[in-house]
Amino acid sequence: MDPSFVILQFLTGLAYASSLFLLAVGLSLIFGALGIVNFAHGSFYMLGAYLLYWVLRGNPEGLWWGLVVVAALGFAIGATTERLLLRPVYNRPEHYQILLTYALLLVIEDGVKLLFGAAYKSLGPPASLAYPVWVFGAPFPAYYFVQIALALVVAGGLWFFLQRTRTGTLVRAATQDREMLEALGVNVPRLLTVVFALGIALATLGGAATLPMQTVSPGIAVEAVISAFIVVVVGGLGSVWGALLGAFLIGEIQAFGVLVLPEFAIAFVYLLMVVVLLVRPWGLLGRPPAVRT
Amino acid sequence: MKRWIWIPALMIAFGGPALAAEPIKIGALYMLSGNFANYGISSKQGVQLAVEEINARGGILGRPVEVVFVDHGKPDQAVREAKRLILENKVNFLFGIDSSSVSLAVAPVANEYKVPLVVTHAATPRLTEMCLPYVFRTSNNARMDSWAAAAFAAKQPYKRWANIGPDYEFGRVSWEDFITRLKELKPDVEVVSEQWPKFGSSDYSSYITALMRAKPEAVFSSLWGGDFVSFAKQAIPFGFFKTIKFYTNPTGGALQALEPLGKNTPEGMLVSARYWFLYPETDANKAFVKKFHDKFGDYPSYNAGEAYSGMMMLAAAIEKAGSTDPDVVKAAFEADGGLKFESIEGLKWMRPADHQVFEDLVWGYTKNTDKYPFAILDPIVVVPAKDTIYPTECAK
């Protein structure tokens, strides 16, 4: 296998990993801080693609501000959802939360069908990004570099937020011991609203960022949430860096698996998941469940 | 005692005309919810328009047609719905079906209850190869598409072929039929790559680079719907359509895919539509397209055209039979070497042995024009029905 092709395939894997990371990181973040498994996460991702389609009104040139608007809308939708729907079930048994987010999945799916219809929606990339760039003599879609850059910016931003800001420090503390935080006088409910809204904003941004290269239909929500779960199972549910590692591994395994055994390319990803579950059931960068005393 | 006489007399006087106009009931099963509801909805629209026209001209055999639409969902749900239509709604016919796996599950049920089933969309060749006496298909199937593609491919000078298709029965069978037929017609072709992305995938980039690395001259693809749209969008910036000399994709001519792709559609792909709204340029077809567009605000997709034609062909069979009795209708479909019906798409011939319709297949090369916001087929190339008549295992 010539090295230039390896680099090309590595880049396609990286592009896929980027969209997986944006999809899954919010799921992990939300679980880490709120302890909620958000089954509707893929639905917010799908909603993001629809929102971008809607705000751009058929003009792909507005992509940049469109992504900003979608992320802002996603934040607002996330905050509203948390305040109105999730807050009342925090102190209920876990299956209430699971039922609630599953209900959200169904509601959002029917909602977009009502608003946008069942037909596939698609919009190309802006003209400046519609062409290949040449990587060691091989064509590679320019837009994928945008997706890769976006994922890197989000990962860097999250690192800064979690490690260097006061709110971020509190979020990390919330994943450790919520009650202690409350005892120290921190407004924990507001903190949780911010985390949930941030997670949803990232999901909608990730979904929106795929619109120039993919097609959106109500069905992608379920596909997306399954992919997101595979990523966080591999990386470790609740760990932001686990989502990054999981997305990277799955993207690259997919890219190179196709070359090694095209007949069974799909199986490699599941194989990885099985191995991780057997060896480290809490995921590569997840924390083993604490022993309750 | 005498008074009893009056009751039958009254029934004849008042009930008589009502009895004569008892509706012909048809249970139509389509995919009306879920990921592919856009297909089911357009099929339903085709049926609605056909039934409106049939009833406006006085129904069939003087009886109005009444259609009950149900969402067929997955095979187990579809079987329940089919039984409910047969036992509770007492339908005379079952009709429609978008999904191949649903068609394979419902066909034996219809057959068991002797309620003729007319399939208008599901395309697995296995359906008609089950040789069930009360099951008919008025649209062409995937094997005919593959054979047609092979007929074109054999005329091309290209030898290095590759495949990309969804990893389930339809994708596998389409490729198998295509390459087997192509090797019969042109023995010197070689297969350089086969790619099987998961059905419903959103990311095709690693499959595209792997395909291009094998340096095929020509590619056959059975991707459809949203998969085809995503694939095409990603293949363009990889320069795929510039490197590959010949690309053919049955079902690529579906409006469900061409409309979202819009002006981003790669030109020069050889695609089929099963039915294409701009062909043939007959008054009948133009009238249908206009009526459809006026009523639903959209051009009829291939499966809307097939659903409409299927309903009209069933009506013709019942008229010919002079009855809705399943055995008489079956005989009407089979008699005189098989029912020949002039539809908006052209002549449809029902092969008596397997109840599969054969017809000229419309293909074409994609081209963007100013006239439509999506790519159209230009030039159109028509595969004569005789080139797609494959042998059947069903005895007759």
A165: left (phi over 0), alpha (psi -120 to 50) or beta: beta
In a domain, A11, yes or no: no
Rounded CA separation B72/B90 (Å): 17
Residue B1: per-residue pLDDT: 46
Q: Is residue A44 part of a domain?
A: yes
Q: Among A119, A219, A224, select the one facing B256 at the smallest CB separation.
A: A119
Closest by CA position to A265, among listed B207, B354, B102, B337: B207
Average pLDDT, chain A: 92
pLDDT for res B20: 56
Instruction: Check whether B311 has a pLDDT greater than 70.
Output: yes
In a domain, A124, yes or no: yes
Give how many domains chain A has, as a whole number: 1
pLDDT at res. A136: 85
Q: Residue A254: list chain B partners with CB under 8 A.
A: 203, 206
Higher pLDDT, B151 or B34: B151
Cα-to-chain-centroid distance, residue A221: 12
Q: Which of B206, B228, B303 to mutate: most A Cβ within 10 Å? A: B206
Residue of A nearest to B203 (CA): A16
Asked if the C-beta of B213 comes within 8 angstroms of chain A's C-beta atoms, the answer is yes
Residue B246 confidence (pLDDT): 95
Specify whether the CB–CB gap between B139 and B112 falls below 8 A: no
The share of chain A scoring above pLDDT 70, in percent, equals 98
Please indicate, yes or no, if residue A166 is contained in any of the structural domains.
Answer: yes
pLDDT band for position A262 (50/70/90)? confident
Domain assignment of residue A60, given as a range: 22-217
What is the chain A residue with the closest CA to B235? A141
Ordered structural domains, chain B, with CATH: 8-140+282-358 (3.40.50.2300), 143-273+361-388 (3.40.50.2300)
pLDDT by residue (tens digit) across B116-163? 999 999 999 999 999 999 999 999 999 999 999 999 999 999 999 999
Among residues B207, B152, B145, the alpha carbon closest in space to that of B171 is found at: B145
Q: What is the pLDDT of residue B33?
A: 84
Mind telling me how many Å the CA of B92 is from chain A's nearest CA? 31
Is the Cβ pair A121, B260 closer than 8 Å? yes
Q: Which of residues 254-283 of A touch B (CB under 8 A)?
A: 254-256, 258-259, 262-263, 265-266
Nearest CA of chain B to the CA of A254: how many Å?
7
Q: Is A113 on the interface with B (CB under 8 A)?
A: yes
Tell me the pLDDT band of A56, cut-offs 50, 70 and 90: very high
Confidence class for position B16, pLDDT limits 50, 70, 90: very low
Which amino acid is it at B124?
T
CB pair distance less than 8 Å for A122 and B202: no
Scanning B23-62 for CB atoms below 8 A from A yields 34-38, 41
Q: What percent of chain B has pLDDT over 70?
A: 95
Examine the pLDDT at B15 and tell me if it is beyond 50: no
Residue B391, min C-alpha distance to chain A (Å): 30
Q: A144–B256: do the CB atoms touch at under 8 Å? A: no
Sheet with B346-351, strands from edge to edge, namely B65-71, B24-30, B93-96, B117-119, B135-137, B356-358, B346-351, B340-343
Q: Output the CA torsion B153→B156→B158→B162 (10° steps).
A: -20
Q: Please indicate whether, in this complex, the C-beta atoms of A220 and B239 are within 8 angstroms of each other.
A: no
pLDDT above 90 (res A61): yes
Mean pLDDT of B383-391: 92
In a domain, A254, yes or no: no
ipTM: 0.91
Mean pLDDT over A225-233 rounds to 94
Q: Beta partners for B348?
A: B341
| Partners of B324 in beta bridges | none
Check residue B7 and give its pLDDT.
52
| Mean pLDDT, rounded, for A66-89 | 96
What integer pLDDT is reported at residue A51 of this predicted model?
Answer: 98
Q: Do B229 and A125 touch (CB under 8 A)?
A: no
- Each residue of A10-35: pLDDT tens digit? 999 999 999 999 999 999 999 999 98
Q: Which residues of B touch A57 (CB under 8 A)?
A: none
- A52 in a structural domain: yes
Span B208-261, pLDDT tens digits: 999 999 999 999 999 999 999 999 999 999 999 999 999 999 999 999 999 999
Contact A214 B202 (CB under 8 A): yes
* CB of A6 closer than 8 Å to CB of A249: no
Q: Where are the alpha helices (DSSP H) in B236-301?
A: 240-243, 255-261, 283-296
Sequence-separated contacts (24+) of B291-300 with Cβ below 8 Å:
B291/B49, B292/B45, B292/B46, B292/B49, B295/B45, B295/B49, B296/B45, B298/B42, B298/B255, B299/B255, B300/B42, B300/B45, B300/B46, B300/B255, B300/B275
Q: Which residue of B has its CA nearest to A217?
A: B35
Would you call A122 an interface residue with chain B, using a CB distance cutoff of 8 Å? yes
Mutate one of A122, A148, A211, A220 to test the B interface: name it (highest B CB count within 10 A): A122
- Rounding to the nearest 10 degrees, give the CA dihedral for residues B80, B84, B86, B88: 170
* Stated pTM of the model: 0.90
Q: CB–CB of B350/B336 below 8 Å?
A: no
pLDDT bucket at A100, cuts 50 / 70 / 90:
very high
DSSP state of A261: -
Quick one: which of B248, B33, B25, B39 has its CA closest to B123?
A: B39
Most confident of A220-224, B249-253, B290-294: B290-294
Kindly state the average pLDDT of the residues B8-35: 72
Query: pLDDT tens across A101-141, in order?
Result: 999 999 999 999 999 988 999 999 999 998 889 988 888 99
Give residue B325's identity as a one-letter amino acid code: D
- B125/A contact by beta carbon, under 8 A: no
**Predicted confidence band of residue A177 (pLDDT cuts 50, 70, 90):** confident
Q: What's the rounded Cα separation, in Å, for the pair A201 and A197? A: 6
CB B106 within 8 A of CB B78: yes
- A263 inside domain: no
Q: What is the pLDDT of residue A167?
A: 93
Beta strands in A44-167 (DSSP E): 132-135, 138-141
CB–CB of A125 and B261 under 8 A?
no
Q: Does A259 map to a domain?
A: no
CA angle centred on B165, ends A213 and B124, rounded to 5°: 130
Which of A4, A12, A14 is best to mutate for the B interface (most B CBs within 10 A)?
Answer: A12
How close does chain A come to B241, measured CA to CA in Å?
12
Whether B233 sits inside 8 A of A122 (CB atoms) is: yes
CA-nearest of A209, A68, A56, A206 to A143 is A209
Q: Of the candidates B196, B200, B237, which has its C-beta nearest A130's C-beta?
A: B237
Residue to substitute from B163, B209, B301, interface A, most A β-carbons within 10 A: B209
